[in-house]
A and B are shown apart, each in its own frame.
Chain A
Amino acid sequence: MVTHENGGGHGHHGPPSGFIRKYVFSVDHKVIGIQYLSLALFSVFVGMALSLLMRLHLAWPAAKFFFFKGGVMTPEQYLALMTMHGTIMVFMVLTTAPQSGFGNYFLPIQIGAADMAFPVLNMLSFWTTFVSLIVMLSAFFVSAGAPIGGWTSYPPLSALGEIVGPGQGAGETLWIVGLAIFCGASLMGALNFITTLIDLRAKGMTLGRLPLTCWTWFVTAILGLLAFGVLLAACILLLLDRVGGTSFFIPGGLVVTDQVITWHKGGSPLLWQHLFWFFGHPEVYIAILPGMGVASHLLSTFSRKPVFGYRAMVGAVCAIGFLGFCVWGHHMFVSGMSPYSAFAFSILTMTIGVPSAIKTFNWLGTIWGGKIQFNCAMLFALGFVSLFVSGGLSGLFLAQPALDLYLHDAYFVVAHFHLIMGVAAIFGMFAGLYFWFPKMFGRFLHEGIGKVHFWLTFIGVYAIFMPMHFLGLAGNPRRYSEMTAGPFLIALQPVHVFISIAAFITIAAQLIFLFSFLWSLKAGKEAKEENPWHATTLEWSIPSPPPFDNFGGHEPVVYHGPYEFSVPGAADDYIPQHLAPELVRKA
């Protein structure tokens, strides 16, 4: 626990001065959190633009775009869009915003600390992330274009260079280097989060009183700490195969368009898959866990009831984290891996559905018997639950190898991961944003526009991603730039058109959000009071926006758990965590 006992003279100095120190190379976790959120906001619009182009091409393959040479999108351009869409969304949006964005801003405050344990390291981790984004985006601007191997970048396609496809030369190299840099940034951030959580909690903030948001940031950071080193190793091996003449992943005897590859032998494409998915599966839990934390937090706050089964929720988060390292083989059922291993991975994967189900029951239990307020934050949290159920259940199909024989690499998988990551996780972020915007900026996001944004998005994402299940059942493979090769594909074109129209509308609706966000920053309704939501956690005990040292030099003391709402015998329907027991008004 933190103490203040050393001999005098260590009051703090004032806040940093000068534009560079305050806003660019700031070491204040709040500024860094906003920097990460800004990076994610920029990246999500880039990612959405890429997906819009993809969907437009899929629906109307002959359509011309003015920025493509010759007008019509070529298959390799489609694949490059797809590769960069996936990469940017997974890494620059889903791994940054929920964890490094909101987590950076609110973890220290919610545990009663004045900042992260290592503020300079924090600043470095953001700027390293920024550099990795620049390197990755630069793949678009090399002459042969961005890589076409998907965000999973399987060798030999990703290892043999330009001879196996356009964009697989410099573009792929930049992609790998950018990703390796991102690994370093993530490791720095994970280390900071975990140390802060373990060692900087305020007096009275026991693990059993941690808000669920903090628990998810904690477990997510552990996942990141243990997984990104493996991805870094994989990237180095792949890079060496490409530029160092090694053969970790490339077997011998290959012939590419009649040219025999003599300078590689003996490697295994499956080795990459094992390394990548050992990272990749924890990665998707990194993407979703903070959203689950936010959902739990908001469902409780806006039902005015404690979280149902707090201990079970914590246990479920830890179980998901642990099991997340044990299931990577379910991405490889048809890869040529041993079928016996496949079956073992299958049972483990079915098992990881159990803590997810427990969380869903507990979310329902949280709002049951409550007093639900339908502000935008709550709407997105409720939407999260619905989307998580929809997206999670398709996992039960994919976890069975016998069924995966049919569904692997088809649109059923695309539906599954988009509903969970591309929608539920995003809803978690929207919910968090509507909730925390007043604290961060001293103004509310416009509720009216927010409601329009919510409905268009909620209906829109179901319209986009539910039909993808049907495409999958019909056998539509994924990563196809057009559905023209055979009759069964041509027959599915109308569904693609429907999806593309829904995507267009839904993406357009995000512009409404962007407008609202920018407008509210300047002219949103002022949030003068510290605790407009009558919430319980520590961020609501300090001014909006918070002062540079969060708690004004004092260390808060925590007396209560994080979800003391509608406590019988209390006059108010909430008891803030820091309120001394003798100050709690009795009914």
Chain B
Amino acid sequence: MMPRRRTERGSTSVALAFALFLTLMTVVTVYIFMAKIWWFPPAITDFGHEIDSQFTRTFVITGIVFVAAQLGLALAVFKFRDRGQKAHYFEGNNTMEIVWTLATIVLFVGLGLYARNAWAQVHFIGAAPGALPIEVTAQQFAWNFRYAGPDGKFGREKPELVSASTGNPVGLDSTDPASKDDIVSPVIAVPAGREVELILRSQDVTHSFYVRELRLKQDAVPGMEIHMHFTATVPGDYELACAELCGLGHYRMHSMLQVMTEPDFEKWQRDQEAANQ
């Protein structure tokens, strides 16, 4: 027989403390999630809403599992603390194993398959033909955005011509006539309701374009031109933060996405052109 140890006699208080802490932690955590005290900002794209729905589905499922598991643990710990009883000898239950394995497969894989739709909207289809192309150039530690201007053509760029200090951060080649009307801006302005196609590039190391309200993030990888598209629906100013460690200035590689009404956007473009002359 096992000698009666001090821990057994105190087991009710420990068990209770453990169970209570788990319960409290679970309740507080669930509350903070449900009260949305810290939460996503509202989405401004259509697929963003689809993503939010998938988030909700995932929250519900993981929330239920979380509560069940933590409270189940709390209950088991309290209920079966050593009070001098004998433990029940059972080595397992094959039926239960099969049932909960199948249930978990269906739940987890089902959830994953359900998420296909939102992902497909972002990445399985390309930009529509009339989308506004904007070239995004990331560098240590700034964002620059180039618009093709009225001629609709992007001018040539050359790495040798890159000079942030003399106002040519993307290395625009002025000998190319298509460059003349290109707009290069440190903030990205887009018209609301019109599809935009981003062409992501990086000059030096890997960065990542991230705007929370768009529900979009995409690495800008040197040596690659990565395309992304979205239609922003709500005018406003939204923060753009770099989301891939790029060096000491990573934390301050910050810019703004300005979603404007169509007239405002036209005006913005004209103002930028004028400033270029």
B241 with A350: CB separation less than 8 A: no
Residues of chain B within 8 A of A409, CB atoms compared: 208, 210, 217, 243-245
With A305-B87, A382-B73, A401-B115 given, is the CB distance from A389 to B37 under 8 Å? Answer: no
Considering the chains assembled together, what is the distance between the CA atoms of A254 and B252 in angstroms?
A: 21
CA distance A266 to B97 in the complex (A): 51
Q: Closest approach, in angstroms, between the C-beta of A377 and any C-beta of chain B?
A: 11
Asked whether any CB of chain A lies closer than 8 Å to the CB of B113, the reply is: yes
CA distance A150 to B165 in the complex (A): 29
Q: How far is the CB of A351 from chain B (nearest CB, A)?
A: 6
A364 touches B73 (CB 8 A): yes
Contact B112 A492 (CB under 8 A): no
Q: Are B51 and A402 in contact (CB under 8 A)?
A: yes
Q: How close is A463's CB to chain B, nearest CB, in angstroms? A: 9
Instruction: Determine if A5 is an interface residue (Cβ-Cβ < 8 Å).
Output: no
Give per-residue flags for A479-497: 1 if the beta carbon is below 8 A from chain B beta carbons, else 0.
1111111111100100100
Question: What per-residue 1/0 map shows which CB atoms of A389-400 lie under 8 Å from chain B?
Answer: 110011011011
Tell whether, in the assembled complex, residue A406 and residue B217 are in contact, meaning their CB atoms are under 8 Å apart.
yes
Q: Which of A374, A470, A495 meets B7, CB within 8 Å?
A: A374
A60 within 8 A of B: no
Q: Mark B211-249, 1 if CB is under 8 A from A, else 0.
A: 010011111011110100000000000010111111111
A484 close to B66 (CB less than 8 A)? no
A20 within 8 A of B: no
Is B89 within 8 A of A474, CB to CB? no
Shortest beta-carbon distance, A425 to chain B, in Å?
18
Interface residues on B, range: 35 or more
- Flag whether A141 is at the interface (Cβ < 8 A): no
Contacts of B61 in A (CB 8 A): 396
Given A386-B22, A396-B61; A474-B51 close (CB under 8 Å) = no
- Return chain B residues, CB-CB under 8 Å to A183: none
What residues of A have a CB within 8 angstroms of the CB of B115 in the complex? 346, 400-403
Which of A150, A374, A473 is within 8 Å of B39, CB to CB? A473
Roughly how many angstroms separate A447 CA and B116 CA in the complex, as a whole number?
51
Asked if B51 contacts A255 (CB within 8 A), the reply is no
Distance of A431 Cα from B51 Cα, bound (Å): 40
User: Are the CB atoms of A347 and B109 closer together than 8 Å?
Assistant: yes
Given the complex, which residues of B lie within 8 Å of A309, measured CB to CB?
91-93, 97
The reply to whether the CB of A408 lies closer than 8 angstroms to some CB of chain B is: yes
> Which residues of B43-77 have CB atoms within 8 Å of chain A's CB atoms?
50-51, 54-55, 58, 61-62, 65-66, 69-70, 72-73, 76-77
> B106-129: which residues lie under 8 A (CB-CB) from chain A?
108-109, 111-113, 115-116, 118-119, 122-124
Judge if A97 is at the interface, Cβ distance under 8 Å: no
B14 neighbours in A (Cβ, 8 Å)? 374, 379, 451
Give the chain A neighbours of B210 by CB distance below 8 A.
409, 475, 477
**Does A75 sit at the interface, judged by CB under 8 A?**
yes
Q: Mark B245-277, 1 if CB is under 8 A from A, else 0.
A: 111111111100000000000000000000000
Q: B93 contacts A365, CB within 8 Å?
A: yes
When distances are taken between beta carbons in the complex, the residues of chain A under 8 Å from B116 are 343
Given contacts A334-B208, A382-B77, A477-B241, contact A253 B87 (CB under 8 A): no
Cross-chain contact B2 with A470 (CB below 8 angstroms): no
A360 interfacial contact with B, CB 8 Å: yes
- The distance in angstroms between the C-alpha atoms of A534 and B82, with both chains bound, is 15
Other-chain contact of A397, B62, B119, B249 (Cβ < 8 Å): B62
Residues of A within 8 A of B10 (CB): 374
Q: Is the CB of A566 within 8 A of B112?
A: no
Give A448's nearest chain B residue, CB to CB.
B6
Is B185 located at the chain interface by the 8 A CB criterion?
no
Check A566 against B58 for contact (C-beta < 8 Å). no
A164 proximal to B (CB < 8 A): yes
Segment of B146-154, B156-164, B174-182, B188-196 engaged in the interface with chain A? B156-164
- With both chains docked as a complex, state the minimum distance between the C-beta of B48 and any C-beta of chain A, in angstroms: 9
Contact with B along A302-325 (1 / 0, CB 8 A): 011111111110000000000000
- Distance in Å from the Cβ of B131 to the closest Cβ of chain A? 18
Complex: chain B residue closest to A477, CB-CB:
B243
B100 touches A358 (CB 8 A): yes
CB < 8 Å neighbour of A405 from B1, B2, B86, B215: B215
Taking A255-B203, A400-B115, A566-B89 as contacts, is the C-beta distance between A573 and B248 under 8 angstroms? Answer: no
Residue numbers in A under 8 Å from B80 (CB-CB): 303, 367-372
Contacts of B93 in A (CB 8 A): 308-309, 365
B222 to chain A, nearest CB (A): 5
Q: Residue of A at shortest CB range from B241?
A: A477
Question: Which one of A43-51, A153-161, A549-557 contacts B?
Answer: A153-161
A residues 157-204 near B (Cβ < 8 Å) are: 157, 160, 164-166
Cβ of B269 to closest chain A Cβ, rounded Å: 25
With A and B bound together, what is the CA distance between A266 and B223 in angstroms?
8
Question: Which one of B32, B221, B239 contacts A487 once the chains associate, using CB atoms below 8 Å?
Answer: B239
Contacts of B90 in A (CB 8 A): 305-306, 308, 369
Q: A351-B108, A400-B115, A486-B239 are in contact. Are A479 and B250 (CB under 8 A)?
A: yes
Whether the pair A269, B206 counts as a contact (CB closer than 8 A) is yes
Q: How far, in Å, is A367 (CB) from chain B's closest CB?
A: 5
Q: Is the CB of A475 within 8 A of B212?
A: yes
Q: When chains A and B are docked, how far (Å) is the Cα of A254 from the Cα of B100?
A: 53
Return the chain B residue nearest A308 by Cβ: B92
Is B144 engaged at the interface, CB distance under 8 Å to the other chain?
A: no
Rounded to whole angstroms, the CA-CA distance of A410 and B109 in the bound complex is 24
With known contacts A304-B87, A379-B14, A400–B108 Cβ distance under 8 A = no
- The answer on a CB contact under 8 Å between B248 and A148 is yes
CB distance from B268 to the nearest CB of A (A): 21
Interface centre among B69, B70, B210 (most CB of A within 10 A): B69
Known: A360-B69, A462-B25. A258 touches B162 (CB 8 A): yes
- Chain A residue nearest to B8 in the complex (CB): A373
Query: Is the CB–CB distance between A485 and B252 below 8 Å?
Result: yes
Closest to A369 in B: B88
- Asked whether B203 lies within 8 Å of A353 as measured between CB atoms, the reply is no
A76 touches B (CB below 8 Å)? yes
Judge whether B204 and A156 touch: CB under 8 Å: yes
Residue B186 is within 8 A (CB to CB) of chain A in the complex: no
A312 touches B7 (CB 8 A): no
Q: Does A53 contact B (CB under 8 A)?
A: no
Q: Which residue of B lies closest to A363 (CB)?
A: B73
A573 touches B54 (CB 8 A): no
Contact indicator A386/B205 (Cβ below 8 Å): no
Closest 3 CB pairs of A and B: A251-B223, A339-B123, A369-B88
Known: A357-B104, A479-B245. 5 other contacts (CB 8 A): A165-B248, A303-B87, A336-B226, A350-B109, A373-B11
Question: Can you name 21 A-B residue pairings with CB atoms under 8 Å?
Answer: A156-B204, A164-B204, A164-B247, A165-B248, A251-B222, A257-B140, A306-B91, A334-B218, A350-B108, A354-B104, A386-B22, A390-B66, A396-B58, A402-B50, A405-B215, A409-B217, A474-B38, A481-B248, A485-B254, A488-B41, A489-B241
Spell out A's residues near B (CB within 8 Å).
74-76, 79, 148-150, 154-157, 160, 164-166, 250-258, 260, 266-270, 303-312, 334-336, 339-340, 342-343, 346-347, 349-351, 353-354, 357-358, 360-362, 364-365, 367-375, 379, 382, 385-386, 389-390, 393-394, 396-397, 399-403, 405-406, 408-410, 447, 451, 455, 458-459, 462, 466, 470-471, 473-475, 477, 479-489, 492, 495, 534, 565-568, 572-573
